[in-house]
Amino acid sequence: MVELNEHMGHSIKMVDLHGQYLKIKEEVDQAIQGVIDSTSFISGESVSAFGSDLAFYLGSSYVIPCANGTDALQIAYQTLDLKAGDEVIMPTFNYVSSAEAASLLGIKPVFVDVWEDTFNLNENLIVSKITSATKAIVVVHLFGQSANMEPILGIANQYGLKVIEDTAQSLGAEYIFRSGIAKKTGTMGDLSIHSFFPTKNLGCFGDGGALATNSLELANRAKMITHHGQGKQKYVYEMIGCNSRLDTLQAAILRVKLKYLDSYLASRMKAGDYYSQLFQNSTSLIVPARSSFAKHTFNQYVLKIDKRDLLQDKLKVAGIPTMIYYPSPLHLQPAFKYLNYQIGDFPISEKLCLQVLALPMHTELTLSEQDYISSTIHQLNNSL
Ligand SMILES: *Cc1c(COP(=O)(O)O)cnc(C)c1O
C-alpha cells in the first residue's frame, strides 16, 4: 500500500533541518570538529566572533550572545533596570517568553491586542494601557514580519518608555520608515532579543540566543548580567546576574549558517509568496497580510480558517503536518491567571487562536510539495 504521506517518494515535513544541514555538512562538521579540537567549550573564540558577525549583519553596534531567547528577554529587562512592580506592555497573541521572563522578575505584563490581518501588536491600543508604572514596550515581530515600528517608537519617545524588540522569529526582516529608509528588525529599539532555536530563521543545533543594542552602556550591562553580574574584576559581582552563555559549539555552527541566512530568507519568501498565490482565490482560507512597511521573512506561514480543527484533523490523516501558533492567548493561560484577565478582554487574539493554522514552511520546501499541500487543502476544505 502506498503511504498516505508519500509525495514524490518522501514525506512532507513541517520543517526540514536535515535537508538544510546536508547542503553545508562539510563546513558545519569542520566547524564542530574545530571546537572539539580546541576544547574551548565555554566562551571560546567562536562566541565573540559570532557576536561580531551578527552585529555586522544587523548593522547594530553590539551583540551579546547568551543561552537562548527567553534568557535574552530576562536579561533585557534587567539591563534596562526594570524592577518588581514596573509594567511592560506586550501583545497577548504571542509565545510565552516575554510574559514569563517579566513575571519571574516581578514585572507586570500588560497585554494588548493585535491586528487581525498581520497578527502583530496593534500600535493604536498601546497608549490606553500606559500608566505611571509603565516602563517599556515589548514589540514582537511575529511570524517573520515587522510590527509597525515608527508609531511605536513615537509613542515610546513621547511617554519616556523603553522599546525591546523580540526578534526571535524575524531575524533578517526589515521595516521601512515613511522616509523610505529600511532598517532590520532588532535594530530600532533600545534592545533587541534573538533566538537561534533550530526552527527560527537562523537556527543552531540546540539552544542559543543573543541581545543586540546600539548603546555601549546597555551592551556592557547586558554582558555583565550574562556573566553572573561580574565586572572587570574576577569574583567581584557588581549586580545580580545569571549564567547565560551561548555554547561555543553552537556559535561555531551559527557562524557557518549566518553566511547562508539571506539565501535561507529568499527561500522562505519565495515559498510564502507561492502559498499566497495558491490560496488567493479562496474565500474561506485567508492568507497572511503583508504590511506595506515590512519585508516578511515567513518564519511561519499562517493561514486563517473558521473550521480549522476539522481541517487540521483531515490534513493529518492525509499526511500533511500543520501546527497551531498559538492555541491560546497569554491572558487566558493558567500561569497568568494572577493578572485577572477575562475571556473577551482581547477579542481579536482570542478569535485568531481558533483560526490560525501554520503550514509546512522551511528552506527546503519545493514548489511541487506546495502544489500538493495546497491542492489537498483546497480539496479537504471544500468537503468540510
Ligand atoms: C522562540 C521565541 C522566543 C524564545 O526563544 P528561545 O530561544 O526558545 O528561548 C521568544 N519569543 C518569541 C516570539 C519566540 O518565537
pTM comes to 0.97
For 156-196, write each residue's pLDDT tens digit.
Answer: 999 999 999 999 999 999 999 999 999 999 999 999 999 99
Query: How remote is the CA of residue 263 from the centroid of ligand 1, in Å?
Result: 22
Pocket of ligand 1 (CB under 6 A): 68-70, 94-95, 97, 140, 166, 168-169, 195, 197, 207, 209
SS3 content of the chain, % helix, strand, coil (to 5): 40, 15, 40
C-alpha distances in Å from residue 350, one per residue of 92, 148, 286, 364: 9, 21, 17, 32
Helices (runs of H) and strands (runs of E) counted in the chain = 12, 14
Residue whose CB lies within 8 A of the most ligand 1 atoms, among 74, 75, 97, for a mutation test? 97
Ligand 1 mean position, distance from CA 51 (Å): 18
Question: What angle, rounded to 10 degrees, do the helices at 248-258 and 261-279 form?
Answer: 70
Domain assignments of the chain as residue spans, ordered by start? 2-14+260-383, 23-258
Q: State the pLDDT confidence band at 9, using cuts at 50, 70 and 90.
A: low
* Closest among 53, 55, 296 to 192, alpha carbons compared: 55
Fold of the CATH domain 23-258: Aspartate Aminotransferase; domain 2 (3.40.640)
Q: Choose the CATH number for 2-14+260-383 among 3.30.200.20, 3.40.430.10, 3.90.1150.10, 3.40.50.970.
A: 3.90.1150.10
The three cell numbers locating residue 251: 556559535
Rg, C-alpha atoms of the chain: 21
Query: In terms of C-beta distances under 8 Å and separation of at least 24 residues, what long-range contacts does 333-340 make, across chains too?
Result: 333/96, 335/96, 335/100, 335/103, 336/99, 336/103, 336/109, 339/108, 339/109, 339/111
DSSP 8-state symbol, 10:
E
Q: Are 12 and 5 in contact (CB under 8 A)?
A: yes
Centre of ligand 1 from the C-alpha of residue 195, in Å: 6
Name the closest-CA residue to atom 6, ligand 1. Answer: 69
* Segment 287-299, tens digit of pLDDT: 999 999 999 999 9
